[in-house]
Structure 1
Amino acid sequence: MSSDKALLPLGALMLAASMGAAAQGSAPETTMSTVTVKETAEIQGKDTLLLKKTTVGKGKQDIKDIPQSVTVFTEKLMADRNQDDFREVLRTTAGVTFLAGETGEEDVRLRGFSLGQAGDIYIDGMKDAPLIERDTFNHDRVEVLKGSASMLFGKGSTGGVVNQVNKAPLLIDQHEAAYTFGTGNSHRATGDFNFVTGENAAFRLNAMVQEADNYGAKQDKRGIAPTFAWGIGTRDEFSIGLYYLESKGRPTYNHPWRLSADGKINTTLPARNFYGLESDYTNTSSQYATLGHIHRFDDGGELNTRLRYGTYERDMLASTIGFQNSAITLGQINDSTVLTRYGSKGRMGESDVLQVQSDYSNTFNWGGKKHAVLTGVDYYDDDAKRNQNYANT
C-alpha cells in the first residue's frame, strides 16, 4: 500500500504532461529564426574590465599571444575612473610620462620615447594626427603596447604604441546618457545610442558636450560620432563612420615660482589658477570619415580594409609668465605680487590626411606549432601647412 501511494504523485505528473502535449499539438506550427552558435561568448567592453583579445597588433589576437606588454583600458574602466580626456587614461599607465612643451603642450612619452612626435598614437590601427585634443566619448577601449612598434607596425619608435578603438554598432538596442559636474565649474553631458536597423545591421550615435572654467583656463568641447554598419558578424561586414571633435580653451603655459634656499619649489600663488592673457587660446578640431570592410575567409583568416579622409586644425597662442621684479624673494610673494609676460608664442597648423590600409591576419598549425600571419599594405598622405612662430601683436 505504501508503494502504491508513493506512485500516485508521479502518475498525476505524467497525466498533466500528456494533457499539456495534447493541448500544444492543436497549436499552429512555428519556425524559429536562425540561431548562430559561437564557440565563446562575446563580452562587450561596456560591461567588463578585462578583455582577452586585442586589435593593437594589426589583427584580432589573444593578448597572451603578443610577446610584449599590453595594457587595455575598457570603456567600463574609463567610465569608473571618470577619465574623459585621453591624457588622463595614459597618466594611469606605468611607463608613461609627460614633458612640458614650449607652448604648454604635453609631450607624451612611453618608456622614454616620444609618442606624438614619432607618430605612435593610432585610432583603429591607423595613424592619428599629432598635437590635437582627444576625448574618450567615442572610445570603446584604449590599448597600450610597450616595446618596439616596428615589430607589428613596420614603423615607429622603440617605446611602443597607443591604439584608440572607436565604438562600433552592436546588434542590440541600448541607450545611455550621463551628466557629470565637477570642480572648476565643469559640466559634461554624454550620450550613447545604439539602434538595430536590420537582421545584421545597426546604427550607433555618440555625442558629447563639455564646458569648464578651470579657474581661468576655460575649455569648451563638442563632439559627435555617428556610425552605421551592416553585415555584422557575416562573411562580409561593411561600415561607414563620421567623427567630429572641437575643443576651444586656454593653455596653462606657465606658473611663476621661486626656488627656496634648499632647492625646493615654493610659492604662495595657487598653481591651479590661469596666469596668462585674456587673448591666450588653444583651439583644435578633428573631423574625418571612415569606410571599412572586413572579409572573413573560411579558414578563419580576416582581411580588414579601411579608407579614411580627415581634416585636422590647430591654432594656439600662449604667453610666458614671470615676476615683474626679478629680485623678489620668497617672503615677498603675495596676492599683490605683480606678474608680467615676457612674450608670446603661436602655433598654427592644418592637415588634410588620406589613409588607405588593408591588413590580413590568420593562424595555422604547422610542424606541431601554432603560427600567426600578419601582413598588409597602407598608404598615407599628409598635406600639412604649419606656422610654428608668430607672436601676439
Structure 2
Amino acid sequence: MARTAETKPSDWAKPAFLALSCVGFVSSAHAAVDAANDTAEADAADRPEVVVTGRHDDKPANVKLTAPLIDTPRSITILPETLIKDTGSASLVDALRTVPGITFGAAEGGNPIGDRPFIRGFDSQGSTYVDGVRDIGAQTREVFAIEQIEVVKGSDSVLGGRGSAGGTLNIVSKLPKLADFARGDVSYGNADYKRATIDVNHKLNDIIAVRVEGMWHDQDVAGRDAIWQKRWGIAPSITIGLGTPTRLTASYYHLHSNELPDSGLPYGYVCSATVCNAPAGDFVLSEPVHHVTTKGGITGTVPYSTFYGLKDRDFRKSNTDQFTMRAEHDFGSDIMLRNTARFSHTWQGYSFLLPDDSTGNVIGTTTTNATTGGVTQYTNGGYVWRRANTRAGVTNTLINQTDLTAKFDTGPLKHSVATGVEFSSEDAHRGTYVMATGSTISPRCNSNTIARYYCTSLFAPNPNDPWVNYASDTSSVPTPVVRSPGYGDIFNKGITRAAYLFDTVSFGDWLIANVGARYDDFTSTVRPGRATVTAPSIELRRRDRDWSYQAGLVAKPTRNSSLYVSYATSVTPPNSLLGEGSEQNSVGTTVTPLLDQLKPEKTKSLEAGAKADILGERLSLTAAVFRTESSNARVSIDANTVAFIGKKQVEGFELGFNGRIAKGWTIFGGYSYLDAKIKEAGLSALTAAAVPGQAAKTVYVPSINNGKRFPQTAKDSFTAWTTYETNAFSIGGGAFYTSRVFGGYSDNRTATQNAAGVVTINPATTILARSIPSYWRFDARASYKLDKHIELSVNAQNLTNKRYFNQAYASHYASVAPGRTVFGTLSVDY
C-alpha cells in the first residue's frame, strides 16, 4: 500500500488490460417447466423433465459450479424467462420479488434509486454479474434481453471475487441459437402503461446465427402523483461456429433510461442529541407519515400518492453500453477453453429528491412558530424540506476472464475441474450538479424557503411549483443548473488480478466432495476532488491480497436426492464499490492515518441442506439451514481512529419448491427466515458543549446499533407463483409476503460537562427505529392462445391495490410501492 502526493495521469489514462476467466454463475434449480409446451404434447405429463431455458439438462451452465445442481452443496435459485414473463416483470427488481430472502434497500448518494439487492441481509449491489462478469455501475436493470437470473446464496467470493458476503446475482443474456424464430409483445394498461419488446433469431447457415432483442417502455406509476418512467434498449449478437468445437460470440447491449425519480414519503419522527420530537420509549417505531398530528395541533392524512419533488428540478437519466466477445473451444468432450472479454460504460445523472425530516420539520419541534426580522420559522410541523441529492457519474470497466474445464479420473475417483484467471480494470468518477436548495439554512423551513419552494406542505405539495435556481440560498440572481467543475470530481480506480480452482470429486455413487479456492489481488486508488483548479491533487492507494475458499460434502441417498454440508468465505476489501454504492469501508478522500488502519471485512458461511427431485424429476424441493458471520467490519473508536471489531451474524433457514406438480400445473417459490443481528457496531460520538473555563469536548459511547436487527432485512419472507394451463387457456397468480423491515436506529443521548471539565452522559429517553410495516401482495395473470402463434394475456400486479412501502432508508424517507397495475399483452411467436 502506498500514498503519493501527486496525481499520476499515466496511471489513469493507460488502457486497462483484457483478462481471462469465466462466464459464470449459472446455478439452475430445475426451473419452472414450460406449461404451454407440456399441455401441447399429450405425453409430456408422464415424461421426467427438468427445463432450464430450453435445456433438458440438470447441470448448471456456470462452469465454476462443477456438478449438477442437485449435487452442488449451495442454496441456488434460478428464475427462467418464462417465469419473468408470466409475472409481468419489466425490471430486475420486479423479477426478484419472487425469490424469498432478498430485499431491496434505498440509498442516498451513489445509487439512490438503482438496484441495491440485499441477499441474506448483506448488500449485494457490488456482487451483480452479467454472463459471469462483474457489473458494478449503478443502474436500474431491464429484463428484455435476459434469458434467466441466477441467485447463489451464502458467502461466495470464491465464485465471483471481492464482496459477495450474502450471495450473488448473475444475469444470463439471450444469445443466438441454431433456429429461426421471432417473438414480439405489445402491452398497454392503466397509469398509461405502454411496453413493446421484440426478440428475433435468424440462422444464417448451419454454423452462424444472429439475434436481436429490443424494448421500448413508457409509463406513469400507478398510485403515485407525477412519477413517470421511460426507457428503450437494444441487444444484438452474432455467434459463429454453433454446433462446432470452436465458437465465437460478439454481443452489444444498450439501455437508455429517462425518468422522474421517486423517493416516497418522509418518516414522522426524528431523534438525535440535538433534536428529538418522538415520544419517550425504549423502541419507538417511526414509520412513513400517513395519519399525522403535528406539534402545532394540525391533524391530517398524507395520501400514499403524495410526491414532494419538483418537475422543474428533479430528473434521472442513464445510459448503459456493454460490448462482449466470447471465444470457446472444445478439446473433445471433456475439455473446454473459454475466454470472455467485455467493455462496459455506464453514465448516470440525477437530481433526486429526499423528503427530509432531519430538523424535525415534518412533525415539528415546537407548538408555536417564532418570527424574527420578518421571517417566520415554521417549527411546529407540517412541512417537508425538498432536499436534492445530485450526481453526474461515469463508470468504465474492462474485464477479461479465461476458463478451462475438464473431466478426468484418478483411479476410482472422478473429477470435474474448473480453473481460470481474471484481469480487470474498473474506474469511476463522479461530480454533482450545482443548485441552491436551502441546505445552508436552519431550521430548514421558514417563510423565505417556502417562497422559494425549498420547503413545501406536508399534506398538499405541488410538483408543478415554479422552482428557480439561484446563485446561492440567499441570492436573488437566477442561474442555470450546471455540472460541478471537473477538477472537483472524485476518481476511483480498481485493478483486479485473480486466479481460481474448483474440483468436484465423486467417491462412487454415494459421496461427493466439492472444493474451491480463489486468490484476489485488488488495488484500489482514489483521487479526491480539488477545491480549486490550482489546488494540488493527491492520490490514495492501497493493495489487498486475499484468499477465499469453499468446501462441501454431498451424500446421495438416491440418485435424485442429496444431503449436504458446506463452508464458504468471502472478503470485502476497502473501496470495493469504487464509490458506486453505499461504501461502509471507504478509503476516504484525505491523507490521514486512517489509510494505514484499513482492513478487509471477512465473512464465513456454514450451511446444511437437502435437495430432492420428485414426481418423476418434475418437482424440485430444497431445504437449508445456515449461519453467516461477518467480522472485521469497520467501526469508529474516536475522531481519528477506526477499529475492525464490528461483527454481524445471520442465522436462518430456507425452503424452496420449483417445477410441476400435475399436468399443466407449475409452481415456484419458497420461504426464508433470517435472524440477523448486529453483534458489535463500535462507538458513536457525542459533543459536550463548551462551558465557562472549558472548551467543547467530544466523547464516545456504545453505538445504538449494537444488538439491533440488520437494516434492510426482512425476518420472514414468502413467495409463491403458480400457473395452471388447460388447452389454450391458462390462469396463474402469486402471493408475496415480507415482514417488517428496519431502515436505521437513533437515540437522544447527550453529553454535558461542568466547570471542572467532568463529562456526564445523559441517558436516552427515546430509542427510535425507522421502519416500514410488513405486507402481503397478490398478483394474477390469465391468458388465452388464439392459435399456436398468438396469445392474449392480462396481468394484474398488486391485485388488491395494497398501499405498502418496499424500501426503507436509514433516515428521511421510505419508498412507496406502485398501486394496482393492470395491463394486457398481445404476444406473437413465429
SS of 2:93's partner is helix
- Structure 1's unaligned 5+ residue stretches are 1-39, 330-336
**Deviation of residue 42 (structure 1)?**
10
After superposition, residues 1-393 of structure 1 pair within 5 angstroms as: 45=53, 52-56=58-62, 58=64, 61-102=67-108, 104-105=112-113, 107-116=116-125, 119-214=126-221, 215=224, 216-256=226-266, 258=268, 263=285, 265=287, 266-267=290-291, 268-278=301-311, 279-321=313-355, 326-327=363-364, 339-387=383-431, 391=435, 393=469
**Deviation of residue 342 (structure 1)?**
4.0
Q: For the residues of structure 2 that align with 1:312 and 1:217, how far apart are their CA atoms?
A: 23
**Identity within the alignment, %:** 28
- Structure 2's unaligned 5+ residue stretches are 1-47, 270-277, 292-300, 367-380, 437-468, 470-830
Asked if the contact 2:262/2:353 (under 8 Å) is kept, the reply is no
**Letter of the structure 2 residue corresponding to residue 355 of structure 1:** I
Q: What RMSD, in angstroms, separates the aligned Cα atoms of the two structures?
A: 2.8
CA deviation string 1:204-230 (max 9, x = no partner): 000000001224221111000000101
CA 61–222 in structure 1, closer or farther in 2 if over 3 Å, else same: farther
**Deviation of residue 132 (structure 1)?**
0.6
Paired residues, number: 343
SS of 1:133's partner is coil
Q: For the residues of structure 2 that align with 1:78 and 1:72, how far apart are their CA atoms?
A: 11
Q: For the residues of structure 2 that align with 1:53 and 1:183, how far apart are their CA atoms?
A: 41
CA deviation string 1:268-304 (max 9, x = no partner): 3332443211121122211021111111111412111
Q: For the residues of structure 2 that align with 1:98 and 1:127, how far apart are their CA atoms?
A: 19
**Deviation of residue 43 (structure 1)?**
5.6
Aligned equivalent of 2:452:
none
Q: For the residues of structure 1 that align with 2:49 and 2:101, how far apart are their CA atoms?
A: 33
Q: For the residues of structure 1 that align with 2:176 and 2:388, how far apart are their CA atoms?
A: 45
SS of 1:359's partner is strand
Normalised TM-score (structure 1): 0.79
SS of 1:207's partner is strand
**Letter of the structure 2 residue corresponding to residue 167 of structure 1:** K
**Deviation of residue 348 (structure 1)?**
2.0
Asked if the contact 1:56/1:145 (under 8 Å) is kept, the reply is no
**Deviation of residue 185 (structure 1)?**
1.6
**Higher strand proportion:** 2
CA 269–257 in structure 1, closer or farther in 2 if over 3 Å, else same: farther
Asked if the contact 1:58/1:153 (under 8 Å) is kept, the reply is no
CA 65–130 in structure 1, closer or farther in 2 if over 3 Å, else same: farther
Indicate the larger mover: 91-100 or 218-227. Answer: 91-100
Q: For the residues of structure 2 that align with 1:111 and 1:257, how far apart are their CA atoms?
A: 25
Normalised TM-score (structure 2): 0.39
SS of 2:116's partner is strand
SS of 2:105's partner is strand
CA 220–196 in structure 1, closer or farther in 2 if over 3 Å, else same: same
Asked if the contact 2:182/2:199 (under 8 Å) is kept, the reply is yes
- Point out which structure has higher relative CO (alpha carbons under 8 A, 6+ apart): 2
CA 386–370 in structure 1, closer or farther in 2 if over 3 Å, else same: same
**Deviation of residue 389 (structure 1)?**
8.0
Q: For the residues of structure 2 that align with 1:164 and 1:150, how far apart are their CA atoms?
A: 17
CA 88–299 in structure 1, closer or farther in 2 if over 3 Å, else same: same
CA 326–273 in structure 1, closer or farther in 2 if over 3 Å, else same: closer
Asked if the contact 1:55/1:61 (under 8 Å) is kept, the reply is no
Asked if the contact 1:95/1:110 (under 8 Å) is kept, the reply is yes
Q: For the residues of structure 2 that align with 1:196 and 1:42, how far apart are their CA atoms?
A: 26
SS of 2:84's partner is helix
SS of 1:157's partner is coil
SS of 1:88's partner is helix
CA deviation string 1:185-213 (max 9, x = no partner): 21110000010101111110000000012
Asked if the contact 2:363/2:382 (under 8 Å) is kept, the reply is no
Asked if the contact 2:356/2:387 (under 8 Å) is kept, the reply is no
**Letter of the structure 2 residue corresponding to residue 87 of structure 1:** V
Q: For the residues of structure 1 that align with 2:424 and 2:50, how far apart are their CA atoms?
A: 33
**Deviation of residue 184 (structure 1)?**
2.3
**Letter of the structure 2 residue corresponding to residue 288 of structure 1:** Q
Q: For the residues of structure 2 that align with 1:225 and 1:61, how far apart are their CA atoms?
A: 31
CA 60–142 in structure 1, closer or farther in 2 if over 3 Å, else same: farther
Asked if the contact 2:268/2:363 (under 8 Å) is kept, the reply is no
Asked if the contact 2:119/2:153 (under 8 Å) is kept, the reply is yes
Asked if the contact 2:394/2:429 (under 8 Å) is kept, the reply is yes
CA 72–42 in structure 1, closer or farther in 2 if over 3 Å, else same: closer
